[in-house]
């Protein structure tokens, strides 16, 4: 099965990782883009923030090219470990544990931790007030590490999120009573209207650094350090920080109602929707081929061929799609030593997963046709494949059509899971927009409407097609 995955990766354009010695190499840098003011996407779709501006200025100073890959913090770290990217800049704290697996640049920002509660909450004023309650944290942040270090002492539990907006929403809705977050991120969010207020004193934290894999890309670290030193000396470093943390930099954008938010964001959402549709169509086309091949194996007279079909179905129906996506995007390239584009990994994941379900749809459809139909066609001199193609399958399609449509809808919705590997489909686009404006309710309502419209259009189209087939 790994051979199938590797073959699909090569067919769909996976690149090798031997370009490291190329002097004209474009470095692939992973980031979070939901960690304002260090990295987020503005209304024009540009990556901005302290980290992004520093990276741009340093690259210009040192004369190297780079490409930003927005993955989210967890996926970015995994991508770096599997050498899918060359570096990570995502407000990443320099810790002794991380130094064992990563090489860090010189520190470029000294962070700290702040606690916050909902604006309407006047009951939580100190850590002692958290006893017996739940606190929200974000994976990999200074706030998360600090909360974990004191939770036993003060008797509270923690719940972990992958992005700041979801963490803040958990507090606003009352599911958690407080949040610990990196102070500049939290204060920026408060100023932008995330519905929280800071309480207590700021705690000291670690410094942020640019990271590469241990023993890899030493020249990139050297360039980053040299560029950072030049920016500090010229005063450009301070200007970048003042842009996002200085006076007037944190002015709230003002609340957006549903229609103004839709008007402002629909170009980005349409791009995300288009990516969702492309992923769905390409994956279903490949899945249909896989389903036909393995579907025939499932009804074969050969025990060996049936065993192959059963193994394929059991593997991809018996494991979560999220695990498959991580395994295909991070695991296989790391094991075999090549790089794979996120789009390629997404298509492979959806194709193999949907193909397993289509295999069972085809098997069930074929077995629903009376055996006498095959026997009659064989008695007329047709071989097995001709009988299957001309007699059995046309009848089976009528039975399979509703299930095909259902699988198409499921696959379209499953594209949202691919946001975890950084594909900017509709759900990921919504997350990126929320990261800069914190309009969670309206934004997710808009995203939901987009999904509803496209799925209803697909359903109505299939209904008409089904009527024509059965006419």
What is the model's pLDDT at position 335?
84
Report the relative pairing of strands 109-118 and 178-182 from DSSP bridges: antiparallel
User: Is 418's pLDDT higher than 80?
Assistant: yes
Per-domain boundaries in the chain: 26-106+209-245, 110-207, 258-470
pLDDT: which is higher, 126 or 368: 126
To 10 degrees, the CA torsion angle through 319, 321, 327, 333?
Answer: 140
User: Is 331's pLDDT higher than 70?
Assistant: yes
- Domains 26-106+209-245 and 110-207 belong to one CATH topology: yes
Element housing 135 (H / E): strand 134-138
Confidence category of residue 18, pLDDT binned at 50, 70, 90:
very low
**Residue linked to tokens 């996120």:** 342
Q: What CATH architecture applies to the domain 258-470?
A: Orthogonal Bundle (1.10)
The top-scoring range by mean pLDDT among 179-188, 315-324, 326-335 is 315-324
pLDDT tens for each residue of 336-364? 878 888 899 999 999 999 999 999 999 88
User: Is 116's pLDDT higher than 90?
Assistant: yes
- Between the alpha carbon of residue 209 and those of residues 54, 74, 203, 205, the distances in Å are 12, 16, 19, 13
Mean pLDDT of 183-201: 87
What is the model's pLDDT at position 57?
96
What is the model's pLDDT at position 140?
78
Contact 295, 358 (CB under 8 A): yes
Contact 32, 91 (CB under 8 A): yes
What is the model's pLDDT at position 410?
92
Q: Identify the CATH class of 110-207.
A: alpha beta
Mean pLDDT of 375-380: 74
Q: Does the 26-106+209-245 domain belong in CATH 3.30.460.80?
A: no
pLDDT tens for each residue of 265-294? 888 899 999 999 999 999 999 999 999 999
pLDDT: which is higher, 334 or 231: 231
The mean predicted confidence, pLDDT, of the chain is 86
pLDDT tens for each residue of 139-164? 878 889 899 999 999 999 999 988 88
What is the model's pLDDT at position 176?
94
What is the model's pLDDT at position 249?
58
User: Is 137's pLDDT higher than 80?
Assistant: yes
> How far apart are alpha carbons 124 and 117 in whole angstroms?
7
What is the model's pLDDT at position 51?
95
Residue 346 token pair: 């997404």
Mean pLDDT of 108-128: 92
What is the model's pLDDT at position 1?
55
Mean pLDDT of 325-335: 88
User: What pTM does this model have?
Assistant: 0.75
10 Å CB burial of residue 96 (0-12, 13-18, 19+) is exposed
């Amino acid at each position: 099965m790994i051979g199938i995955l590797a073959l699909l990766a090569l067919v769909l354009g996976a690149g090798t990782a031997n370009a490291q010695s190329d002097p004209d190499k474009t470095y692939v840098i992973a980031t979070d883009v939901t960690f304002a003011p260090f990295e987020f996407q503005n209304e024009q779709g540009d990556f901005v923030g302290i980290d992004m501006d520093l990276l741009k200025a340093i690259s210009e100073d040192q004369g190297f090219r780079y490409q930003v890959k927005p993955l989210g913090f967890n996926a970015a770290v995994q991508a770096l470990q599997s050498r899918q990217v060359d570096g990570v800049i995502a407000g990443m704290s320099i810790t002794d544990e991380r130094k064992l697996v990563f090489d860090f640049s010189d520190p470029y920002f000294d962070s700290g931790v702040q606690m916050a509660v909902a604006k309407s909450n006047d009951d939580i004023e100190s850590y002692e007030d958290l006893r017996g309650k739940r606190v929200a944290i974000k994976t990999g942040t200074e706030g998360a590490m600090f909360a974990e270090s004191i939770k036993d002492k003060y008797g509270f539990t923690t719940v972990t999120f992958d992005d700041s907006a979801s963490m803040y929403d958990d507090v606003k809705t009352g599911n958690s009573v407080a949040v610990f977050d990196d102070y500049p991120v939290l204060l920026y969010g408060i100023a932008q209207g995330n519905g929280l207020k800071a309480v207590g004193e700021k705690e000291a934290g670690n410094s942020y650094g640019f990271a590469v894999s241990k023993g890899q890309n030493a020249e990139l670290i050297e360039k980053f350090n040299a560029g950072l030193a030049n920016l500090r000396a010229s005063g450009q470093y301070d200007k970048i920080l003042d842009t996002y943390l200085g006076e007037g930099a944190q002015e709230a954008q003002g609340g957006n109602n549903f229609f103004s938010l839709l008007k402002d964001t629909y170009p980005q959402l349409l791009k995300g929707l288009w990516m969702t549709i492309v992923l769905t169509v390409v994956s279903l086309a490949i899945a249909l081929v896989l389903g036909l091949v393995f579907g025939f194996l499932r009804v074969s007279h050969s025990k060996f061929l049936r065993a192959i079909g059963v193994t394929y179905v059991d593997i991809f129906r018996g494991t979560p799609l999220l695990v498959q996506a991580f395994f295909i995007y991070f695991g296989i390239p790391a094991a075999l030593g090549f790089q794979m584009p996120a789009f390629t990994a997404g298509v492979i994941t959806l194709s193999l997963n949907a193909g397993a379900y289509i295999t069972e749809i085809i098997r069930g459809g074929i077995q629903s046709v009376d055996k006498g139909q095959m026997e009659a066609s064989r008695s007329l001199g047709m071989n097995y494949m001709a009988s299957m193609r001309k007699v059995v399958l046309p009848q089976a399609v009528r039975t399979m059509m509703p299930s095909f449509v259902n699988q198409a809808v499921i696959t379209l919705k499953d594209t949202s899971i691919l946001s975890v590997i950084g594909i900017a489909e509709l759900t990921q686009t919504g997350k990126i927009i929320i990261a800069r404006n914190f309009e969670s309710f309206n934004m997710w309502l808009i995203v939901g409407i987009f999904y509803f419209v496209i799925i209803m259009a697909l359903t109505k189209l299939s209904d008409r097609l089904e009527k024509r087939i059965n006419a």
